[in-house]
A and B are shown apart, each in its own frame.
Chain A
């Protein structure tokens, strides 16, 4: 019983790390622009497919593909931003429609280029066991990218709190007009937040490629999960995203262990609804929550 519970919690925390890496990028863009980028999951997927292409065609280790993936995902994110920035009216609803459409285009582009087969890394190093105290089991890729993800998220958190550009992102999130009066260039700051989100998406995509399987429709699934976590955390709260993601991961994992694996998504949604019922702004929510 104890072994089952400990393994469930361990798996839940590691799964939460994956979820958080995807969700932080979404939360960052929302915090800066008040836009929900429904193509964010597809950007994660694109990074994963670049890693696949690099490994299958050039024999590159997926980690070595990060620079290439970063360039492609960064360029795609910049394109998404360029299109979003042309929206003049009803920005929130029109941006939802635009990014949803871009997500579909990206999914179908992936389908056309790489077909619908499932893929994952063939490098066995990533799938080797990591065993803690003969009780907790994980794949090496899960542990490596969980730790790497934590470092990256801490870096983003530090950047938001301690760098001028990071403070500009927060200022823009807090009060756009006041930030402009203080000399913040909104366009430059917004595109910067998109590029940081692209960096997170790239890392998340490589993590997923090494630990899970990828297929074209996965992007939409990741967007939905990231959106739930972002709302659960409180729109725009980056530390909240990590905690919310780990909570979702653990509740899903415990449900698999003690109830049924079929109900894990339902359990996550019930947690989400209960939190929103008790705390309508999310766990760490508020209109100006970014990087708190």
Chain B
């Protein structure tokens, strides 16, 4: 018994002796994440949360023994009111900063709650200009409408189309992007027909029939979400308008769509940072891909990539602010504003409004079950099929 007590005392003493210096420097950081994990935006919310988890996992490996990071996620159920409640709860739980948010109408009030509490909120889930137009000190965003519009306009410019029909969802972010595309195309002398639809629309044939019989465009540009794209493409497949290309934006040129709707996707263009199958060459990207596959047993997609980048930048800024002793004094926003990093989505810096002026997306095309990057030319890993319809 005495021997046992002695051994235990020695073990405790040894542990304290070895652990003391580490414990003195090591810090645990709690990050908060408010995301739609149920409701209409559940899929995209889940995608972003996976990217956030990868960033935290890699940070914990990188700083093992020195710092540890934990993320607490609250489901906002795709509801603005619950988004605000989630942010307030996360801040009350001691989150040093918030990463997440999907849907401009949810991010708006949620980030306002964070601003009132003086807590940094970083996102890639809301691209409307109104979010950064508020010039909140604590709000940051790594992507924006301009970057998506640049990619779509660039591709349509390369195609030299003269008439485009823009079919867009009447949500804030999609409307803003569609109107920016319209303005940019019109400025280049392209005739643009605008067709707004509601989220409840499931039969697009009457709308596509107008496009076919009245607009007679060279290309159809879709701005919406996955179920909208499927509806539009199915209607187009039935009506067969005489177009040269069908172009979309987010959630379209993805592995998920290639696997789920192979008969609809062939030759369709959409924004995509990554080709499919994913080809990573940079060490950081390979590490990201490995961690993602290990955690989720699948290949990463663009949602995970954006979630990863925003959280990685946030973690780096948290460490810098803590090192400077300003983390508890509102210094995190200043540190984040100093960011100038090459990331998986390109260069990221933040302007005075918290927006990333460098953001420009890439365009991919579904080709025989793969997604080939076709724009810009310096990022392309294949040639575009043009003219080419999905049917």
Is the Cβ of B195 less than 8 Å from the Cβ of A261? Answer: yes
Shortest B110–chain A CB gap in Å is: 20
Task: Please encode chain A, from 80 to 111, with 1 for each CB lying within 8 Å of some chain B CB and 0 for all others.
Answer: 00000000000000000000000000011001
Is the Cβ of B262 less than 8 Å from the Cβ of A129? Answer: no
Is the Cβ of B260 less than 8 Å from the Cβ of A119? Answer: yes
Q: Would you list which residues of chain B between 29 and 83 have a CB under 8 Å from chain A? A: 38-40, 42-43, 45-46, 78
Residues of B within 8 A of A219 (CB): none
Q: How far is the CA of A276 from the CA of B262 in the complex (A)?
A: 45
- Interface of B, secondary structure class, is helix
Is the Cβ of B231 less than 8 Å from the Cβ of A257? Answer: no
B368 at the interface (CB under 8 A from A): no
A260 at the interface (CB under 8 A from B): yes
B89 at the interface (CB under 8 A from A): no
B324 at the interface (CB under 8 A from A): no
Is the Cβ of A4 less than 8 Å from the Cβ of B197? Answer: no
Q: How far is the CA of A217 from the CA of B43 in the complex (A)?
A: 11
The interface of chain B, by Cβ under 8 A from chain A, is: 38-40, 42-43, 45-46, 78, 170, 195-198, 200-207, 209-210, 213-214, 226-227, 230-231, 234, 237-240, 256, 260-264
Given contacts A137-B205, A257-B206, contact A264 B43 (CB under 8 A): no
Is the Cβ of A256 less than 8 Å from the Cβ of B201? Answer: yes
Residues of B within 8 A of A118 (CB): 43, 226-227, 230, 260
Task: Please encode chain A, from 232 to 266, with 1 for each CB lying within 8 Å of some chain B CB and 0 for all others.
Answer: 00000000000000000000011011001111110
Q: How far is the CA of A193 from the CA of B188 in the complex (A)?
A: 62
Can you list 7 pairs linking A and B with CB atoms under 8 Å apart? Answer: A117-B43, A122-B261, A124-B263, A215-B43, A261-B195, A262-B197, A263-B198
Is the Cβ of A115 less than 8 Å from the Cβ of B238? Answer: no
Is the Cβ of B256 less than 8 Å from the Cβ of A213? Answer: no
Is the Cβ of B200 less than 8 Å from the Cβ of A264? Answer: yes
Is the Cβ of A115 less than 8 Å from the Cβ of B46? Answer: yes
Interface centre among A14, A120, A221 (most CB of B within 10 A): A120
Interface centre among B40, B209, B214, B260 (most CB of A within 10 A): B209
Shortest A145–chain B CB gap in Å is: 13
Residues of A within 8 A of B264 (CB): 127
Given contacts A116-B46, A118-B230, A260-B196, contact A129 B237 (CB under 8 A): yes
Is the Cβ of B207 less than 8 Å from the Cβ of A261? Answer: yes
Residues of A within 8 A of B38 (CB): 107-108, 111, 116, 216
Q: How far is the CA of A116 from the CA of B262 in the complex (A)?
A: 19
Residues of B within 8 A of A264 (CB): 198, 200-201
Q: How far is the CA of A261 from the CA of B198 in the complex (A)?
A: 6
Is the Cβ of A253 less than 8 Å from the Cβ of B230? Answer: no
Q: How far is the CA of A120 from the CA of B227 in the complex (A)?
A: 10
Q: How far is the CA of A122 from the CA of B38 in the complex (A)?
A: 25
Residues of A within 8 A of B260 (CB): 117-120, 122
Q: How far is the CA of A158 from the CA of B181 in the complex (A)?
A: 55
Q: How far is the CA of A215 from the CA of B260 in the complex (A)?
A: 13
Q: Would you list which residues of chain A between 31 and 80 have a CB under 8 Å from chain B? A: none
A21 at the interface (CB under 8 A from B): no
Is the Cβ of B234 less than 8 Å from the Cβ of A7? Answer: no
Other 16 A-B pairs with CB < 8 A, given A217-B78, A262-B170: A4-B206, A4-B209, A15-B202, A115-B46, A116-B45, A116-B46, A118-B226, A127-B234, A212-B231, A213-B202, A215-B40, A215-B43, A217-B40, A256-B197, A262-B197, A265-B200
Is the Cβ of B196 less than 8 Å from the Cβ of A261? Answer: yes
Residues of B within 8 A of A107 (CB): 38
Interface centre among A119, A260, A263 (most CB of B within 10 A): A260
Q: How far is the CA of A117 from the CA of B264 in the complex (A)?
A: 16
Residues of A within 8 A of B213 (CB): 3-4
Interface residues on A, range: 35 or more
Shortest B87–chain A CB gap in Å is: 22
Residue of B nearest to A56 (CB): B260
Residues of B within 8 A of A4 (CB): 206, 209-210, 213-214
Is the Cβ of A221 less than 8 Å from the Cβ of B200? Answer: yes
Is the Cβ of A212 less than 8 Å from the Cβ of B43? Answer: no
Residues of B within 8 A of A120 (CB): 230, 260-261
Residues of B within 8 A of A221 (CB): 200
Residues of B within 8 A of A215 (CB): 40, 43, 227
Q: Which of B207, B237, B262 contacts A256 (CB 8 A)?
A: B207
Is the Cβ of B238 less than 8 Å from the Cβ of A129? Answer: yes
Residues of A within 8 A of B237 (CB): 127, 129
Q: How far is the CA of A119 from the CA of B257 in the complex (A)?
A: 10
Shortest A119–chain B CB gap in Å is: 7
Residue of B nearest to A119 (CB): B260
Q: Which of B196, B209, B239 contacts A262 (CB 8 A)?
A: B196
Residue of B nearest to A1 (CB): B213
Given contacts A117-B260, A139-B234, A261-B207, contact A212 B46 (CB under 8 A): no
Shortest B178–chain A CB gap in Å is: 12
Shortest B99–chain A CB gap in Å is: 20
Residue of A nearest to B227 (CB): A213
Is the Cβ of B198 less than 8 Å from the Cβ of A137? Answer: no
Q: Which of B210, B231, B240, B262 contacts A122 (CB 8 A)?
A: B262
Q: Which of A116, A137, A139, A263 contacts B43 (CB 8 A)?
A: A116
Q: How far is the CA of A257 from the CA of B213 in the complex (A)?
A: 11
Residue of B nearest to A117 (CB): B43
Is the Cβ of A213 less than 8 Å from the Cβ of B238? Answer: no
Shortest A55–chain B CB gap in Å is: 11
Residue of B nearest to A225 (CB): B200
Is the Cβ of A3 less than 8 Å from the Cβ of B209? Answer: yes
Residues of B within 8 A of A129 (CB): 237-238, 240
Residues of B within 8 A of A117 (CB): 43, 256, 260
Residues of B within 8 A of A260 (CB): 196
Residues of B within 8 A of A124 (CB): 263
A28 at the interface (CB under 8 A from B): no
Shortest B9–chain A CB gap in Å is: 49
Q: How far is the CA of A266 from the CA of B262 in the complex (A)?
A: 34
Shortest B276–chain A CB gap in Å is: 16
A11 at the interface (CB under 8 A from B): yes
Is the Cβ of A213 less than 8 Å from the Cβ of B230? Answer: yes
Is the Cβ of A212 less than 8 Å from the Cβ of B198? Answer: no
Shortest B226–chain A CB gap in Å is: 5
